[in-house]
A and B are shown apart, each in its own frame.
Chain A
Amino acid sequence: MAMLRKLTPYLFVAPLMIFITVFTYIPILASLNLSFREWNFLSPDMPFVGLRNYEQLLSSRELWNSLWVTTLFAILSVPLRLGLALVIANYLIRESVHSRLLRGALFLPSVTSTVSIAVVFSWVFSTDYGMVNAILGMLGLGKVQWLQDPHLALWVLIFVNTWKQLGYDIVIYIAGLQAIPQELYDAASIDGCRRLHVFRRVTLPLVMPATYFLLVISVIEAFQVFTIVNVMTRGGPAGATDMLVNLLYEIGFVLFDIGRGSALAVMLFVLLVALAILKSRIIGRKVHYEA
């Protein structure tokens, strides 16, 4: 009986542990194993090739281009997402029918199929038949090659990704803002603080847990962005939006080089872990969970 009592908690967590082991840890280990081998899904043998896959990746210009493009995407999109979300959340925190409707409307893209969003925006930003250029045309402006200009294409992807993710970020920020005690604002008001000063000295530090959470999530998402890229630009034009996961897909599922694809997956994993540690060291210490 005592034994059963000791085992009970383990039995409760066992289903989840089995699920995580089968669908997360085993694939990670399998991927690590495959990264040292040569395989194309089909051949019965998987010869061990040591670090050759890593060497070939590190000496390829595609990897460095993808790393640069993905980093640029993250650097540009994450602050934009978080900044916009905080400003909008600050506005929508007031309880009214109007703000509830807006919250729902802004959250809608988060629960909409990414493929559908990407297909629709492909048409919206089409050079010759797109809505954006049609509006520009009505204003007497020329056509813009939104998805064909290597500099603009990345911005279009940032815009679409922000539009899709913004609602989720706003909901998290609203929850964070609602957790800030009203007394602090009252005290600041009595002290004669201006709104900007209150925002900087009260809101911003106390919403840091939400910011930190969103930063971690959005950086990971930025480095793993795939669907929008694959549907809207396929990494083009000429590699200008060839993000890391798109390259991984191409190597693994178009060129069938599972060894190199796995090596890239492992490198991406290490990069994300390193970034998480870095964020924890730099920003994590500044996060206050108590008001």
Chain B
Amino acid sequence: MSRKLHSTIAVSIVALFASVGVAEAATTVKFWHSFNKSSGQALDKIVQNFEAANPDIDVEAEFIGNYNDIIAKLQAAIPARRAPDAVILEVTRYGLFANNNILTDLTPYFDADPLKADLYEYAQEVGVISGKNYIVPFNSSTPVLYFNKDIFERAGLSADTPLKTFDEILTATKTISEKLGSEGISGIAAPGQFARWGLVMANDSELVDPKSGEIMLDKPNTIEAYQWMASLVHDNKVASPDGVTDEDNGRDAFLARKVGIMFNSTGNYGEAKKAIGDNLVVRAMPCNKACSVPIGGAGIGIMATSSKEVQDAAYKFVSYAASPEANAIWFAATGYLPINKKSGGLPVAKEALATQPGIDVAIDSLPNAHGRARTTVVTWMRTTEYKMWQAMALGQQKVDETMKDFAEQTRAEEKRVSN
């Protein structure tokens, strides 16, 4: 009995040390991201699949908050030496980290990775600054037009109502507001910043030229687009002002079936589908003067401070996250754009395309999708744009004067940061 007991203890001890040894052998990659709810569940599945295929790598994925929260927390964590190894960074705001050598130059990894050839052209370009690759896209998006078919029908509008130009959209929103306003239903949600950028591009202009870096805030087509957007709230009163001061309010009202039309990221497809069900219709963004949409979303960067071993492990995860298998799961669960050309051919994606009408709209927009400027001044411009938009949409300032002033301020800020 005693011998048996001793043998059992000895075996247990050996097993314990062996398991500790295995645990120590695993490389841990701390990964900060911005996905919760259904997209968080999809990411968890991707992480689990990766860990099953790579038992020597442990990915500790942690939801931090939205893109702004991640940037704020990362900035505090870096001097405190508590930064993660890999992090999701929004596509117009990773430049700050790249320019300060915080992010690893992924060019050697990316160039040697067969994955690169499988990625769409936009996905290959979106992580590049000055010829170096700093992030690999994970959740890419374009804005799309969502509408609620039930609200359209109740307002006497057909689901085939043309929504290609600003005038056509305004006409539809006016009809909804006139017919259903007494029920607390608005025609359209005030466009959020990503959608505003898209509507400027739909009017054949830009905020900042992505190639030359020229500030285009005071170009006639940009001003015209803002005049139209502001008129939705102030002059025509077809959009609730609640969505001007907090753009999430507009989205929430659409999900609560209180708004007819919403411009928003294709990444909202999953949530919208869950809330609106079969009444959700997705269309491409309008082509008022041009068919052009911005690419949004984020990619995964790897911190330069992590050890080479951890960086290698982190890149394996980054590469897996952009693989057809992972990307198909992600696309089907969220509606974010496929970044891998092979994703669409996998059963998960095929099923999503067959059963989730509208999920393919963003894919069809890809030929018109363009990367946005990511110069240092873009962060300042995006922060200030909220104030300018509020002043214009709430009728406190004239659009043309505000945009001209905004352009001047942005140029001055660009000069200040470049000195």
Interface residues of A (CB under 8 A from B): 40-43, 56, 122, 126-129, 145, 147-150, 233-239, 242, 250, 253-256
Least CB separation from A237: chain B residue: B390
Residues of chain B from 73 to 101 with CB closer than 8 A to chain A in the complex: 75-76, 78-79, 96-97, 100
In the complex, the answer to whether A148 meets B78 with C-beta atoms within 8 Å is: no
B379 interfacial contact with A, CB 8 Å: yes
In the complex, the answer to whether A238 meets B396 with C-beta atoms within 8 Å is: yes
In the complex, the answer to whether A234 meets B386 with C-beta atoms within 8 Å is: yes
Tell me the complex Cα distance, A56–B244, Å: 29
In the complex, the answer to whether B184 meets A41 with C-beta atoms within 8 Å is: no
Chain A residues near B386 (CB-CB < 8 A): 234, 236
Q: In angstroms, how far is the closest chain A Cβ from the Cβ of B379? A: 6
In the complex, the answer to whether A42 meets B102 with C-beta atoms within 8 Å is: yes
B268 interfacial contact with A, CB 8 Å: no
Chain B residues near A41 (CB-CB < 8 A): 75-76, 78-79
In the complex, the answer to whether B75 meets A128 with C-beta atoms within 8 Å is: no
Query: Which of B68, B253, B397 touches A128 (beta carbons < 8 Å)?
Result: B253
Query: Which of B72, B79, B246, B387 touches A239 (beta carbons < 8 Å)?
Result: B387
Interface size class of B (residues with CB under 8 A): 20 to 34
In the complex, the answer to whether B387 meets A128 with C-beta atoms within 8 Å is: no
Chain B residues near A242 (CB-CB < 8 A): 387
Q: In angstroms, how far is the closest chain A Cβ from the Cβ of B402? A: 9
Q: Given contacts A126-B242, A255-B380, is CB(A237)–CB(B391) below 8 Å?
A: yes
Query: Which of A148, A235, A250, A254 touches B394 (beta carbons < 8 Å)?
Result: A148
Q: At the interface, is chain B mostly helix, strand, loop or mixed?
A: helix
Tell me the complex Cα distance, A43–B79, Å: 10
Interface residues of B (CB under 8 A from A): 68, 71-72, 75-76, 78-79, 96-97, 100, 102, 184, 186, 240-242, 244-246, 249, 253, 258, 379-380, 383, 386-388, 390-391, 394, 396-397, 416
Chain A residues near B79 (CB-CB < 8 A): 41
In the complex, the answer to whether B242 meets A128 with C-beta atoms within 8 Å is: yes
Chain B residues near A253 (CB-CB < 8 A): 72, 75
19 residue pairs from A and B, CB less than 8 Å apart: A41-B79, A42-B100, A126-B242, A128-B184, A128-B240, A128-B242, A128-B253, A145-B241, A149-B394, A150-B396, A234-B386, A236-B245, A237-B391, A238-B390, A238-B391, A253-B75, A254-B72, A254-B383, A256-B75
Q: At the interface, is chain A mostly helix, strand, loop or mixed?
A: loop
Q: In angstroms, how far is the closest chain B Cβ from the Cβ of A108? A: 27
Q: Which of B79, B387, B397 has the most CB of A within 10 A?
A: B387
Query: Which of B68, B76, B186, B387 touches A236 (beta carbons < 8 Å)?
Result: B387
Tell me the complex Cα distance, A198–B78, Å: 61
Q: In angstroms, how far is the closest chain A Cβ from the Cβ of B120? A: 30
Q: In angstroms, how far is the closest chain B Cβ from the Cβ of A69? A: 13
Tell me the complex Cα distance, A126–B71, Å: 29
Known: A129-B184, A254-B383. 4 other contacts (CB 8 A): A42-B102, A128-B242, A238-B387, A238-B394
Q: In angstroms, how far is the closest chain B Cβ from the Cβ of A155? A: 15
Chain A residues near B379 (CB-CB < 8 A): 254-256
How many residue pairs between the two chains, A and B, have CB atoms under 8 Å in the bound complex?
83
Tell me the complex Cα distance, A254–B385, Å: 13
Tell me the complex Cα distance, A126–B184, Å: 13
Tell me the complex Cα distance, A117–B185, Å: 27
Least CB separation from A153: chain B residue: B245
Chain A residues near B394 (CB-CB < 8 A): 145, 148-150, 237-238
In the complex, the answer to whether B75 meets A42 with C-beta atoms within 8 Å is: yes
In the complex, the answer to whether A129 meets B253 with C-beta atoms within 8 Å is: yes
Chain A residues near B240 (CB-CB < 8 A): 127-128
Query: Which of B102, B184, B186, B416 touches A56 (beta carbons < 8 Å)?
Result: B416
Q: Top 4 nearest A-B pairs by Cβ distance?
A: A238-B391, A42-B100, A41-B75, A148-B241
Chain A residues near B258 (CB-CB < 8 A): 128-129
Q: In angstroms, how far is the closest chain A Cβ from the Cβ of B152? A: 20
Least CB separation from B72: chain A residue: A253
Q: Which of B184, B241, B245, B246 has the most CB of A within 10 A?
A: B245
In the complex, the answer to whether A43 meets B75 with C-beta atoms within 8 Å is: no
In the complex, the answer to whether A233 meets B245 with C-beta atoms within 8 Å is: yes
Least CB separation from A241: chain B residue: B245
Query: Which of B96, B186, B383 touches A42 (beta carbons < 8 Å)?
Result: B96
Chain B residues near A150 (CB-CB < 8 A): 394, 396
Q: In angstroms, how far is the closest chain A Cβ from the Cβ of B382? A: 9
Chain B residues near A126 (CB-CB < 8 A): 242, 249
Q: In angstroms, how far is the closest chain B Cβ from the Cβ of A233? A: 6
Tell me the complex Cα distance, A145–B394, Å: 10
Least CB separation from B68: chain A residue: A254
Chain B residues near A145 (CB-CB < 8 A): 241, 394
Tell me the complex Cα distance, A65–B350, Å: 54
Tell me the complex Cα distance, A9–B75, Å: 41
In the complex, the answer to whether B184 meets A42 with C-beta atoms within 8 Å is: no
Tell me the complex Cα distance, A39–B274, Å: 44
Chain B residues near A254 (CB-CB < 8 A): 68, 72, 379, 383
Tell me the complex Cα distance, A254–B96, Å: 12
Q: In angstroms, how far is the closest chain A Cβ from the Cβ of B415? A: 12
Q: Given contacts A234-B245, A236-B390, is CB(A128)–CB(B186) below 8 Å?
A: yes
Chain B residues near A40 (CB-CB < 8 A): 75, 96, 100
Q: Given contacts A42-B97, A128-B242, is CB(A250)–CB(B383) below 8 Å?
A: yes
Query: Which of B72, B97, B246 touches A234 (beta carbons < 8 Å)?
Result: B246
Tell me the complex Cα distance, A234–B390, Å: 11
In the complex, the answer to whether B75 meets A129 with C-beta atoms within 8 Å is: no
In the complex, the answer to whether A237 meets B100 with C-beta atoms within 8 Å is: no
In the complex, the answer to whether B245 meets A256 with C-beta atoms within 8 Å is: no
Tell me the complex Cα distance, A239–B100, Å: 31
Chain B residues near A239 (CB-CB < 8 A): 387, 391
In the complex, the answer to whether B242 meets A43 with C-beta atoms within 8 Å is: no
Q: Which of A56, A128, A234, A242 has the most CB of B within 10 A?
A: A128
Tell me the complex Cα distance, A235–B246, Å: 11
Q: Which of A234, A238, A253 has the most CB of B within 10 A?
A: A238
